[in-house]
Amino acid sequence: MEFARVVGNVVATRKEEKVRGRKFLVLQPVNLDMKPSGSVKVGVDAVGAGEGELVLFATGSTARQTHLTENRPTDCVIMAIVDSVDVKNERVYDKAEEERSE
Amino acid sequence: MKPGRVIGRVVCSQKYPDFKGERFLLVQPTDWKKNDRGEPIVCTDAVGAGYEEFVFYIESREAGLALGEKEPPSDASICGIIDGVDMEDEVWK
């Protein structure tokens, strides 16, 4: 899994029947410094993520392992919302702290 | 399977329900001689690995298989803690 910021959503009126009713979010992958890394992706939301949140996403056939995406044409799913990240015993991300400073 | 080192952890209270009880760890991919390779990734933990431990992980669809019958949507799982690696040196030349 990788980290990403939710930076937007995608609206598509005409889409494959099997992905109807799914929420598509635009993801900007980030590295451990929380800086953008790599190109933007679109993922199906399985956890109720919102814009600006730091999330984890899984790609490939793994993305079909939720009840929302089972046997459906998806290759990227948001499967967790991140509360905190610790690297080498140092906190590099804290959602509560981020919300306080906003 | 690929080698890596546990460098941290990720806490997520909101996660897909099938992940209940699972831990997310940060893994720095390495080569089999423990030299860092590429960017860290987040893995679920199937073996109870600890900080700084040398482990191997699996990627893609099979990663969910390591976590029991529910097969949660994980695309990387730690599947073993490495005690030692024996290899002929020619491999590295």
Q: Is the dihedral of CA A72, A50, B65, B27 positive or negative?
A: positive
CB contact under 8 A, A60 and B14: no
ipTM of predicted assembly, 2 dp: 0.87
* Per-residue model confidence (pLDDT) at position A101: 85
Domain boundaries, chain B: 2-92
Q: How far is B12 from chain A (nearest CA, A)?
A: 5
CB contact under 8 A, A79 and B41: no
Please write the tens of the pLDDT for every residue from B1-43.
999 999 999 999 999 999 999 999 999 999 988 999 999 999 9
Q: Is A30 on the interface with B (CB under 8 A)?
A: no
* Per-residue model confidence (pLDDT) at position B90: 58
User: Residue A87 and residue B6: Cα distance in Å, rounded?
Assistant: 9
From B12, B43, B73, residue closest to A62, measured CB to CB: B73
Instruction: Please say whether the structural domain B2-92 has been given the CATH code 2.40.50.220.
Output: yes
Please write the tens of the pLDDT for every residue from A36-94.
999 999 999 999 999 999 999 999 999 999 989 889 999 999 999 999 999 998 999 99
pLDDT band of residue B70 (cuts 50, 70, 90) is confident
Q: Is B40 helix (H, G, I), strand (E, B) or coil?
A: coil
Q: How far is A57 from chain B (nearest CA, A)?
A: 9
Give whole-number Cα distances, A101 to A49, A52, A95, A97, in Å: 20, 14, 10, 6
Residues 40-59 in B contacting A (C-alpha not used; CB under 8 Å): 40-43, 51
* Per-residue model confidence (pLDDT) at position A20: 87
Rg of chain A taking only CA atoms, in angstroms: 14
User: Residue B62 and residue B56: Cα distance in Å, rounded?
Assistant: 14
Which range of residues forms the domain containing residue A70?
2-101
Q: How far is A31 from chain B (nearest CA, A)?
A: 8
CATH code of the domain in which A54 resides: 2.40.50.220
